[in-house]
Amino acid sequence: MPQLWQGRASKAVDSRVNDFNSSIRFDARMIEQDIRGSMVHSAMLGRQGIISARDVEDIHKGLKGILADLHSGALEIDPAAEDVHTFVEQTLTARVGDAGKRLHTGRSRNDQVALDIRLWMRDESEALQAGIRELIEAICRQAEAGAGYVMPGYTHLQRAQPVTFGHQLMAYAWMLLRDLGRLQDATARMNAECPLGSGALAGTTYPIDRDYTARELGFDAPCANSIDGVSDRDFCIEFVSAVATCMMHLSRLSEEIILWCSWEFKFVELDDAFTTGSSIMPQKKNPDVTELIRGKTGRVYGDLNTLLVMMKGIPLAYDKDMQEDKEAVFDAADTLALCLRTLTPMLDTMRPLPENMRRAAAKGFINATDCADYLTKKGMPFRDAYKCTGTMVAACIAADKTLEELTLEEFKTYSPLFEEDVYHAIDLTTCCEGRTSYGGPAKASVLDQIAKVRAKLAEQ
């Protein structure tokens, strides 16, 4: 296909430059958005009397035919086309004649591509949000079932205090809820201004109606500055930043699952459908899904860095550097979508092993704080209670005992404040259920968190 800009050139462009310059191999995926924008643009041209009603009718009929033929397979995108915009316009012209040549009146590829990428990202954001909602619901289901499963909570990857499996999982539900909000915020700002009508950078002399095109395409208003309209890629950066943050949360959850399903922890068992084996070690059951999510997170970070570096030094308005935005945006969105589609059913089929969780909790002295709190409630200053309990823990470690295994006589050697009720106070279930502060690990609190998260999902 010939280039749309060949009018000034005195000779053909070197084929190597054409290949280097071409974007059809990746921007072809925006063809539906490109056609949607062209339908509205041409309708506006007709409304304003810039082109005839017959031209509008021919253009719309031609564009709908192209889309139908693409869906049916009767038409394939020409890989020799420079970009998706060229392919659509030249295919349209071949089908409807001169009316197709009038489609681009009052428009530049600069504002056209700025529109298309916005429309594509808006559609993709909705799909990603749906995937995040499904993952949150899968987490809530596992958390509901495990709201009473006592396990060690960790700091510095050291056993710290007792929590429940449900409480630990709900931390990720809240993270993902924030990710949902970030994508919604990014999409709202993306929808705030429509670049169509900005032209190459300085608008147009045609009497176009930018309010009409903005409204018909679902934007709040046309962008207020035509230079900003074609040179802005903040919305790409914000979108990929939200995706990268979500990937970071998926990576953290994946790391937990990798640890939990190892023999050293064995808190969960992954379904065979979501693990792989070894070519040489028959006993292996590898959590490849979660390991790949961990690895792909770095890939999305790279996409974000690509956009930031691409934009950091280019002058106004449009520069060809900005063609690099699409591959980074597409890759980030595709990667998150793939991870969500795989992680959600993996979590749904994951089997918790509560006996192993509780056994690890019992051996970790994670009720030491509760023992100190017991003494404090009996009247001992907290710092003294902290030191006393620390001494007891050191002695238990040396004797290969847990606090629960000490006799009452042994407790009393450390403080006469200890009574029979100490065993109830340091029982792991009591330790969890006693943490009734808002947002804590008590079963009622976990169930309340689940209800609140589900209510927020329903609101959105």
Check if the beta carbon of residue 173 is closer than 8 Å to that of residue 133.
Answer: no
Say whether 278 is catalytic. Answer: yes
Q: Which of 52, 71, 278, 424 is an active site residue? A: 278
CA 201 to chain centre: 33
Q: What is the pLDDT of residue 14?
A: 65
Q: Is the previous residue joined to 317 through a cis bond, with omega within 30 degrees of 0?
A: yes
pLDDT in the model for residue 284: 76
**Over 80: is that where the pLDDT of 346 sits?**
yes
Average pLDDT over residues 55-79: 97
Tokens of 293: 């999510």
Which residue shows structure tokens 């295994």?
405
Angle between helices 288-311 and 325-349 (to 10 degrees): 160
Summarize the chain as % helix, strand, coil (round to 5): 65, 5, 30
Do the Cβ atoms of 363 and 397 come closer than 8 Å? no
Per-residue pLDDT, averaged over 138-167, amounts to 95
Task: Give the torsion through C-alpha atoms of 267, 339, 145, 262, to 10 deg.
Answer: -10
Q: Which residues pair with 268 in a beta bridge?
A: 352
In whole angstroms, what is the distance from residue 350 CA to residue 190 CA?
37
How confident is the model at residue 280, as a pLDDT? 75
Band (224; pLDDT cuts 50, 70, 90): very high
Residue for token pair 């018909």: 216
Q: Which amino acid is at 65?
A: G
- DSSP characters for 372-402? HHHHHHTT--HHHHHHHHHHHHHHHHHHT--
Q: How far is CA 122 from CA 255, 307, 352, 421, in A?
A: 31, 18, 37, 59
Query: Is the separation of the CB atoms in 85 and 95 below 8 Å?
Result: no
Over residues 348-404, the pLDDT tens digits come to 999 999 999 999 998 888 899 999 999 999 999 999 999 999 999 999 999 998 898
Report the 10 Å Cβ neighbour count for 78: 14
The residue to which tokens 């949607």 are assigned: 36
Question: Which one of the listed residues 15, 72, 156, 437 is annotated catalytic?
Answer: 156
Active site residue 42: no
**Residues 19-34: pLDDT tens digits?**
676 789 899 999 999 9
